[in-house]
Structure 1
Amino acid sequence: MSTALAHTDPTGPQGFRTRLLDGLTRAIEERGYRDTTVADIVRNAKTSKRTFYGEFDSKEECFLALLRANNDAMITGIVSAVEPEDDWHVQIRSAATAYVDHIASRPAVTLSWIREAPALGAAALPLHRLAMGDLTNMLVDLTDSPGFRRANLPPISRPLALILLGGLRELTALSVEDGSDLRLILEPAVVAATAILGPRISSA
């Protein structure tokens, strides 16, 4: 079931934009991004093509806007779920749970972000780099907290953050494609994050 990405006046300019993004979300859930048409989007949004083209130049532009909004909502949800003063183990589980809850609420959009957006080529590259940069910054910030510092754990490095994020993205995509219960990825995500973010084994 699709969920609105923002709560706005449905009759105002931002309200129309939100309705169109929600309309695209429902279309992706029903038939996937590739087979979705602008007619599908406006039908779901209960508006017109004239309204659509007043907001977006193309289906592709609407898709990229949806993915940006979805990524922003995911980051906001994760950050809100984590209490910086909590023990670092608790923070990891809180962040992983918020991630799983988010993707479980919109698995089709998540899969489109991972699998279909790259097919847009150069048009999607800025979005991908922005999303991964924002997610990396989020992990660095979350691990630079009192709970991690009490355990003498430094903030995660950006290369390690990318490794963690990349593995989690692929596990997510495979789970959605297989129709698996997405909550089954919670424990592997916690274990992997704990191994990467926890005490380092000295090579000396």
Structure 2
Amino acid sequence: MAKTPWAARTAREGRDSETRSLLLDCAARVFGRIGYARTTIADITREAEVSRAAFYIYFASKADVFAAVAVRVRDAFLAAHELPGVNADDPYELARESSAAFLRACTDNLELMTVIEHQALADPAVHPIWREIRERPMHRTSRYIERLTVQGRARPAAPPHVIAEATYGIFTQFAHYVAANPSEYDETVKHLTAMYLRLLGIPESSGH
């Protein structure tokens, strides 16, 4: 039986999405490995095993695909604060799960973070994406600490924005350790969660 036009279009769109995702995956690896300046479109298409013509179906230039990679990194960091199925009213569960997700995002994008930061200095299109990667997670953390404080559920050791910036820096630093020692990921999450709760002034709970 011949495919309906709708089914054929859906299948084609699925293939297009897969090819675009493949190019983004490969571009991310190449940019992370050799940096922005040294990367060429030929490097990306060779990594993806697709033609140069196929690349231009989805991206207009190296700058275009790099911006798309940077947006995907930003989205990974923001997703660490949007955890479906996690009880947002339980500060212990939320701290544990968000710590795990944020550390994973830092570790998975460790090399790219450096490249994006450097490119943001020269490229006005990348600069706002880099600012979002850094600032939006910290703003969310700061607002969360403020809410807990108002509710009387936290006694933070410092102003919320200071704790938010400090924990961001701690997690990005520990990402280097986890990248070199992947088997230590779970234990590192445990320690970072405990540190974060201490900074918030939330007492330890035997039930967690």
TM-score normalized with structure 2 length? 0.68
Shift of 1:136: 2.0
Counterparts of 1:42 and 1:168, CA distance in 2: 33
Query: Of the candidates 144, 160, 169, which is equivalent to residue 163 of structure 2?
Result: 160
**Structure 1: which 5+ runs fail to align?**
1-7
Secondary structure, counterpart of 1:83 in structure 2: coil
Q: Which amino acid aligns with 2:115?
A: E
Greater mean alpha carbon deviation, residues 16-25 or residues 89-98: 16-25
What is the aligned partner in structure 1 of residue 87 from structure 2? Answer: 83
What is the aligned partner in structure 1 of residue 9 from structure 2? Answer: none
Counterparts of 1:19 and 1:74, CA distance in 2: 20
Q: Which amino acid aligns with 1:119?
A: H
Counterparts of 1:36 and 1:173, CA distance in 2: 23
Secondary structure, counterpart of 2:83 in structure 1: helix
Alpha-carbon RMSD across the aligned residues, in angstroms, is 3.4
Secondary structure, counterpart of 1:119 in structure 2: helix
1:67 aligns with 2:70: yes
What is the aligned partner in structure 2 of residue 5 from structure 1? Answer: none
Cα-to-partner distance string for 1:122-154 (whole Å, 9 max, x where unaligned): 324322211122212332455466899462568
Q: Which amino acid aligns with 2:193?
A: V
Query: Of the candidates 123, 129, 136, which is equivalent to residue 134 of structure 1?
Result: 136
What is the aligned partner in structure 1 of residue 115 from structure 2? Answer: 116
TM-score normalized with structure 1 length? 0.69
Shift of 1:69: 0.9
What is the aligned partner in structure 1 of residue 181 from structure 2? Answer: 180
* Percentage of identical aligned residues: 19
Counterparts of 1:95 and 1:147, CA distance in 2: 19
Counterparts of 1:73 and 1:167, CA distance in 2: 18
Cα-to-partner distance string for 1:149-203 (whole Å, 9 max, x where unaligned): 462568x733431222122212213543xx2225043134213311322259xxx
Query: Of the candidates 25, 34, 53, which is equivalent to residue 22 of structure 1?
Result: 25
Secondary structure, counterpart of 1:33 in structure 2: helix
Shift of 1:84: 0.8
Counterparts of 2:193 and 2:154, CA distance in 1: 19
CA spacing shift, 1:148–1:96, aligned 2, 3 Å: farther
Counterparts of 1:148 and 1:186, CA distance in 2: 27
Cα-to-partner distance string for 1:99-134 (whole Å, 9 max, x where unaligned): 234455xx3x33221x22222223243222111222
Q: Which amino acid aligns with 1:167?
A: I
Greater mean alpha carbon deviation, residues 161-170 or residues 32-41: 32-41
